[in-house]
C-alpha cells in the first residue's frame, strides 16, 4: 500500500473530501433529498474514486483496493458495530427518571465509566434511550446529547482495548491489555471531569430557564430495573470474542475476493453475526418496541461508512508512503528531526482522527513512531500516550470521528430531538473540546 501511495497525487483525495462535504452540507441544503437518497450520493462519491482509478491503473488493482477496504477493514468494523447495536437494542433499562441536571450528569458519568468495558458503541446504545426518556419533557436538551457524544461515545473508551477500535489495534500490535488503563487514566479523568462539570453547569442553566415539566402521571411510572437480560450475557460474549480475536495469533490468512482476512478476524466476524442472531431470536419483540428500536440508524452508518472506507483508501495510502508520498509535509510535523514530539503526535493524530477513521489513523502514527510495541510502551511511552489519547479523544470533534457519534445523533433525531447540523456540532465541539485538549497536552505531554 505504501508503494501505491507514493504514486498518488492529492487529487485522489477529492472524492473523500467531496463525500465529507456532502455529509456536512447536504442535510442543510437539501434535507429531503439527502434523507431519501443519501445511499446513492455516497455510492456516487465511491464510484468517483473507483472508476477513474480503474481507468488509469486497471480494473484488477481497483477491485483489489475495494476488496481490501470493504472485506479486510470495513467488514469487521461494521459487523462488530451491528452486533453491539442489535444486542444493546435488546436491553431496556426501565424506570421513570426526570431529566434534572443531577440525573443527566449521573447518566453521563455511568456511560463514561461503562464505555471502556462495553465499548463506546455498547455504552452509548445502552444509555441513549434512557437519557431520551428522562429528557422527553425538556425544552432545551440538544446539549445533553452533544455532551453524551463527547463523553460516552468517545472519551470514556480510553481505558481498554475494548473501549475504542484504535486501542484494540494497539492491543493486536503488542500493546499490553492493561497499558491504556495504567497510562491514559489520568488524562481521561481530567478531560472527563472537566466536561462533566461543564455539562452540569450548562444543564443547570437551561433547567432553571425551562424546567423538565410536571412529573409523569402515576400510570406512566416504571420501577427501576432491566429487561432483556439475556442480552447482557451476549454483550459479555461480544467482549470475549473481541478479546480472543486480539489475543489469538495465527499465520493463516483467508482469501476473500482477493483480500486477505486473518483467520482469527474471520472467525470473530462469524461469531459476532451468530451473537446478533441469538439476540434477535431470544429477545421478546415488546422490549425492542419499547426501546423504539429500528434499523435506520445502523443502516445509515453502514452505508455512509462503506463509502468512507473506500474513498479514504488513497488518503491513507498517501500517508503511509511517508516522505515518498504527496502528504510528506505531515511527517516532519509528527517527527521533527527524528525525535518524537509528543504534543505534535497528539494534535496530528487527533486532528486527522476527527475527519478520517481513527483506527487506521492510530495505526499510521503508531508506525511513524517506530511501530515497536515494546519500545512504545517503554522509553517512548509518552509518545504512545499522545497517539492513543489523540485518536480516542478527537473522535468527538465531528460526527464522523467515531461511528457511535452518528448513531447517537440519528437515534436522538428520530426521537424528536433536533440535533446540531454537521458544522453546528463542530462549533460545539471546537468551543468545548479544543481548549480542553490544549490543557490536556500541556499538562500530560
> Which residues lie below 8 Å from residue 23, measured CB to CB, with a gap of 6+?
304, 399, 400, 422
The structural domain count of the chain equals 1
How far is Cα 134 from Cα 145, in angstroms, rounded to an integer? 12
DSSP character string of 64-93: HHHHIIIIIIIHHHHHHHHHHHHHHTT-EE
How far is Cα 67 from Cα 63, in angstroms, rounded to an integer? 6
Phi, psi of 273 (to 5 degrees): -60, -40
pLDDT in tens, 243-266: 887 777 777 777 776 677 778 888
What is the model's pLDDT at position 338?
59
- Coil, strand, or helix at residue 260? strand
How far is Cα 261 from Cα 75, in angstroms, rounded to an integer? 10
Cβ atoms of 243 and 50 within 8 Å: the answer is no
Cβ atoms of 126 and 91 within 8 Å: the answer is yes
Domain region containing 185: 2-444
pLDDT in tens, 127-180: 888 898 888 888 888 899 999 999 999 999 999 887 887 888 788 778 888 899
What is the model's pLDDT at position 154?
94
Q: Is 257 left (phi over 0), alpha (psi -120 to 50) or beta?
A: left
| Strongest mean pLDDT among 222-231, 269-278, 350-359, 412-421 | 269-278
pLDDT in tens, 47-92: 999 999 999 888 888 888 888 888 877 888 788 888 888 888 888 8
| pTM score of the predicted model | 0.78
Q: Is 97 left (phi over 0), alpha (psi -120 to 50) or beta?
A: beta
Amino acid at each position: 500500500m505504501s508503494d501505491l501511495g507514493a504514486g498518488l497525487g492529492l487529487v485522489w483525495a477529492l472524492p473523500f473530501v467531496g463525500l465529507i462535504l456532502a455529509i456536512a452540507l447536504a442535510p442543510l441544503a437539501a434535507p429531503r433529498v439527502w434523507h431519501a437518497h443519501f445511499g446513492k450520493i455516497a455510492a456516487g462519491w465511491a464510484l468517483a474514486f473507483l472508476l477513474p482509478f480503474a481507468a488509469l491503473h486497471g480494473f484488477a488493482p481497483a477491485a483489489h483496493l475495494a476488496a481490501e477496504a470493504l472485506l479486510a477493514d470495513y467488514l469487521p468494523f461494521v459487523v462488530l458495530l451491528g452486533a453491539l447495536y442489535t444486542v444493546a437494542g435488546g436491553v431496556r433499562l426501565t424506570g421513570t427518571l426526570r431529566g434534572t441536571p443531577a440525573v443527566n450528569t449521573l447518566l453521563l458519568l455511568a456511560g463514561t465509566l461503562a464505555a471502556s468495558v462495553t465499548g463506546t458503541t455498547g455504552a452509548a446504545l445502552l444509555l441513549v434511550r434512557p437519557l431520551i426518556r428522562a429528557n422527553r419533557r425538556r425544552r432545551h436538551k440538544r446539549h445533553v446529547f452533544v455532551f453524551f457524544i463527547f463523553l460516552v461515545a468517545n472519551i470514556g473508551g480510553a481505558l481498554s482495548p475494548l473501549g475504542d477500535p484504535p486501542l484494540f489495534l494497539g492491543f493486536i500490535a503488542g500493546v499490553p491489555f492493561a497499558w491504556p488503563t495504567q497510562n491514559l487514566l489520568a488524562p481521561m479523568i481530567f478531560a472527563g471531569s472537566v466536561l462533566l462539570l461543564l455539562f452540569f453547569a450548562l444543564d443547570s442553566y437551561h433547567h432553571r430557564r425551562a424546567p423538565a415539566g410536571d412529573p409523569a402521571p402515576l400510570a406512566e411510572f416504571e420501577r427501576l430495573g432491566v429487561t432483556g437480560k439475556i442480552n447482557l450475557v451476549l454483550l459479555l460474549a461480544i467482549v470475549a470474542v473481541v478479546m480472543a480475536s486480539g489475543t489469538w495469533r495465527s499465520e493463516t490468512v483467508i482469501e476473500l475476493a482477493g483480500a486477505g482476512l486473518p483467520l482469527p478476524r474471520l472467525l470473530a466476524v462469524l461469531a459476532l453475526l451468530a451473537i446478533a442472531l441469538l439476540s434477535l431470536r431470544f429477545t421478546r419483540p415488546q422490549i425492542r418496541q419499547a426501546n423504539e428500536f429500528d434499523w435506520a440508524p445502523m443502516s445509515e452508518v453502514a452505508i455512509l461508512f462503506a463509502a468512507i472506507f473506500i474513498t479514504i483508501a488513497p488518503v491513507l495510502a498517501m500517508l503511509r508512503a511517508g516522505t515518498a508520498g504527496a502528504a510528506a509535509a505531515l511527517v516532519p510535523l509528527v517527527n521533527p528531526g527524528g525525535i518524537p514530539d509528543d504534543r505534535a503526535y497528539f494534535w496530528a493524530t487527533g486532528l486527522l482522527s476527527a475527519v478520517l477513521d481513527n483506527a487506521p489513523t492510530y495505526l499510521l502514527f503508531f508506525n511513524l513512531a517506530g511501530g515497536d510495541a515494546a519500545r512504545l510502551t517503554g522509553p517512548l511511552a509518552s509518545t504512545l500516550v499522545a497517539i492513543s489519547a489523540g485518536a480516542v479523544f478527537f473522535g468527538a470533534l465531528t460526527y464522523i470521528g467515531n461511528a457511535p457519534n452518528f448513531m447517537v445523533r440519528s437515534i436522538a433525531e428520530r426521537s424528536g430531538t433536533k440535533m446540531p447540523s454537521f458544522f453546528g456540532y463542530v462549533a460545539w465541539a471546537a468551543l468545548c473540546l479544543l481548549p480542553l485538549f490544549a490543557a490536556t497536552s500541556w499538562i500530560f505531554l
